[in-house]
Chains A and B, each alone.
Chain A
Amino acid sequence: MSAHPLDKYLVTKRLPHIWCPGCGIGVALAAILRAIDRRVREGALKPENLVMVTGIGCTARAAIYVSFDSAHTIHGRAIPFASGAKLANPKLEVMVLGGDGDIAGIGGNHLLHAARRNMDLTVFMITNMVYAMTGGQVAPTTPTGMYTTTTPKGNPETPVNVIKLVAYQGANYVARASTTHPALIERYTYRALGMEGFRFIEIISPCPEIFGRHIGFRDPVELYEEIKKKSKYKPKPSLEESDLDWERGWVLGEFIERNEPGYLKRIGRV
């Protein structure tokens, strides 16, 4: 009896996980683990040096399912915890996994300052456009005009463009992928793990239960198809194309690639 190829990175006795049927977080986590596996097999990473830090939310449950070191911390404060871990032990490869509510909403301030410092972290933001675990309230990344449980007449606000925000703060790597394109998540994660400084990957993910059902998609497959239709891959997109708009769709690709020294190099810890 063979096992799933990712079982060595998962605590299998905790599976099946709590995520809803058709949730994109599982797809994103699998793609990230495959990229880690590639780096480990190449000898560039050691499993004992991996750390995954998460905050609160559906996505944050990932820390409970991975078999390497992980921390499930307080809401929005995953990046400060991760910065602390990296500064205390620069050998570690620290990753932060969070939802849009955790990273851009509650922890938006920490995101800004970690990017400004070019802190040596890889941050994954899984965007499902609502606060899903608490019932689908409007999030900072909800597109304008979108129905949520707290905006029944449509969201009047402009969503925060996290790609631009992080890019203008001087992050080394900024990319956007989608769980409808798992190969892109894997490729971007693989590239990000080989870099220094602040690396930010946004992953658009369908939330079939709390987001999709509320806006009229009865089935996970329907929402998957809709998100796939709206996601357009571009090899070298400009920052001007990074807006998240439900009507016009969004662009996937690597927006920023710099080779600036990371924070640890700047303070002489490497």
Chain B
Amino acid sequence: MGSRLGVVQALIEDPETDPPERRPRFRIVVIPERCKECGLCIHVCPKNVLEKGTEANARGYRYPVPARPEDCVGCRLCEFNCPDFAIYVVPVR
């Protein structure tokens, strides 16, 4: 559970009692400089993993952030529906 850093997060999530499926099985990578903020990835995600971001890239587009990566089931719909080659999903080993 080395990926869970921070005292606050450690208080909320207990690695001992949390069921193993709560741990992220997939890593969602967003390439900020390619994003154009169309919102399709957020819309198509069946598990509501992504959320509209608050930070903007150099062109002023607010790229999405994977807010709930532990819910990701790896269907890659966000990757398939991204017109800008800006998001992809890889399994965590």
A220 touches which one: B35, B38, B79, B86 (CB < 8 A)?
Answer: B38
How many Å from the CB of A11 to the closest CB on chain B? 11
Residues of B within 8 A of A221 (CB): 38-40, 43
How many Å from the CB of A209 to the closest CB on chain B? 11
Residues of A within 8 A of B35 (CB): 16
Residues 175-199 of A contacting B (Cβ, < 8 Å): 182-183
Interface size range on A against B: 20 to 34
Q: Are B84 and A16 in contact (CB under 8 A)?
A: yes
Residues of B within 8 A of A4 (CB): 29, 31, 85-86, 88
How many Å from the CB of A43 to the closest CB on chain B? 24
Q: Are B43 and A23 in contact (CB under 8 A)?
A: no
Residue A19 CB within 8 A of the other chain: yes
Residue A219 CB within 8 A of the other chain: yes
How many Å from the CB of B79 to the closest CB on chain A? 8
Residues of B within 8 A of A26 (CB): 82-85
Residue A10 CB within 8 A of the other chain: yes
Residue A173 CB within 8 A of the other chain: no
- Beyond A5-B88, A16-B33, A16-B34, whether A224 also contacts B80 by CB under 8 A is no
B80 touches which one: A2, A16, A31 (CB < 8 A)?
Answer: A31
Residues of chain A having any CB pair with chain B under 8 Å = 2, 4-7, 10, 15-17, 19-27, 30-31, 182-183, 208, 219-221, 224-225
Residues of chain B having any CB pair with chain A under 8 Å = 29, 31, 33-40, 43, 59, 61, 79-86, 88, 90
